[in-house]
């Protein structure tokens, strides 16, 4: 069982999907000959040919539109958008067509497409290349939003997304592409969608987040453990549909919660989690829900990028504020 990076796990899952299902096709800018801007499709053109791995023009709306057409005709397209900020050109296609096709046709057609793309900061890229715009898509009924945070989870969740009958936005934290290695066996076994993943058990406080902040939450939990506080760490993994039950159960046990994400504070998906906790979880809370997020500014690249992102220090400060109550 080889140790692979997250981007290699993506490549592994895509290869498995192509091998297992002849209706799976890949399309995107530079994914064929060049193997993708981050090499997530490296070697797949040579193995499966230009009819299964298609290089496209620089036209994100066209990529999304062609994918929807392919899906309506029985294919399972997996489209790569080079960077998340470029996905805003796909909003019309994803909101008005992909997410509505099942309802519009009263179930006669589904739209099994995956729109995958890197997201978040940490790679010191220029403007438009470090966006965390997941909240733009979480408000779209009919669209799943999935964000893995490790190689094994990337492999299993991507296979599940490809096999899902409805459209999935699959976000890949760019800072995690090559930052860690993990044993991943190419078994073809998918992980379940729509479930949070409890990475660390704890009884004192819940740290909840997704994507690129998950390693920071785990690091903060280790510091808290040295201080005598046991933090439960929850990787949300699928933002929509949200597995609120797992988060509510954790807060019922711990009484405190810190929600972390790279996106801006205002309108971020962390606000939705806080709102869910303010309803059925209200009587369990011993302290206000804390949020550790990006700031309400355009990402200040490159020198202030790390100051903008949630950090271990900021997560610890929020945890200490929550622990100071009660």
Where in the sequence numbering do the catalytic residues fall?
Answer: 129
What count of other Cβ atoms lies within 10 Å of the Cβ of residue 58?
A: 10
Phi/psi-derived region of residue 188, left when phi > 0, alpha when psi is between -120 and 50, beta in every other case? left
Return the percent helix, strand and coil in the chain, to nearest 5.
40, 20, 40
Burial of 73 (0-12, 13-18, 19+ CB in 10 A): exposed
Cis status of the peptide bond prior to 302, with omega within 30 of 0 = yes
Distance CA 28, CA 201 (A): 40
Q: Which helix (H) or strand (E) element contains residue 151?
A: helix 151-163
Diameter over CA atoms, the chain: 62
Q: What is the DSSP string of 257-319?
A: EEEEEEEESTT-HHHHHHHHHHTTTGGG-SSPPEEEEE-SS---TTTTHHHHS--HHHHHHHH
Cα end-to-end distance, the chain, whole Å: 47
**249: which residues sit within 8 A by CB, 6+ positions away?**
none
């Amino acid at each position: 069982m080889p140790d692979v990076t997250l981007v290699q796990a993506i490549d592994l899952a895509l290869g498995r999907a192509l091998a297992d299902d002849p209706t799976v096709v890949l399309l995107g800018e530079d994914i064929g000959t060049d193997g993708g801007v981050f090499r997530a499709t490296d070697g797949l053109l040579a193995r499966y040919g230009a009819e299964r791995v298609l290089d496209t023009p620089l036209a994100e709306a066209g990529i999304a539109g062609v994918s929807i057409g392919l899906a309506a005709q029985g294919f399972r397209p997996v489209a790569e958008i080079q960077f998340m900020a470029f996905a805003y050109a796909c909003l019309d296609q994803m909101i008005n067509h992909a997410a509505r096709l099942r309802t519009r046709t009263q179930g006669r057609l589904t739209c099994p497409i995956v729109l995958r793309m890197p997201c978040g900061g940490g790679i010191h890229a220029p403007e438009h290349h470090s966006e965390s715009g997941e909240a733009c898509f979480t408000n779209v009924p009919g669209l799943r939003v999935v964000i893995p945070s490790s190689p094994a989870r990337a492999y299993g969740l991507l296979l599940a997304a490809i096999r899902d009958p409805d459209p999935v936005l699959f976000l890949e934290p760019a800072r995690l592409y090559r930052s860690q290695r993990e044993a991943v066996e190419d078994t073809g076994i998918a992980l379940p969608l729509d479930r949070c993943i409890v990475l660390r058990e704890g009884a004192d406080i819940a740290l909840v987040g997704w994507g690129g902040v998950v390693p920071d939450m785990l690091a903060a939990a280790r510091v808290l453990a040295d201080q005598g506080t046991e933090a439960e760490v929850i990787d949300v993994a699928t933002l929509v549909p949200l597995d609120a039950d797992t988060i509510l159960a954790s807060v019922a046990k711990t009484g405190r919660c810190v929600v972390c994400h790279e996106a801006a504070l205002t309108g971020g998906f962390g606000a939705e989690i806080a709102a869910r906790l303010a309803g059925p979880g209200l009587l369990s809370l011993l302290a206000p829900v804390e949020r550790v997020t990006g700031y309400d500014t355009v990402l200040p690249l490159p020198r202030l990028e790390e100051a903008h992102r949630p950090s271990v220090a900021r997560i610890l400060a929020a945890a200490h504020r929550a622990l100071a109550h009660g």
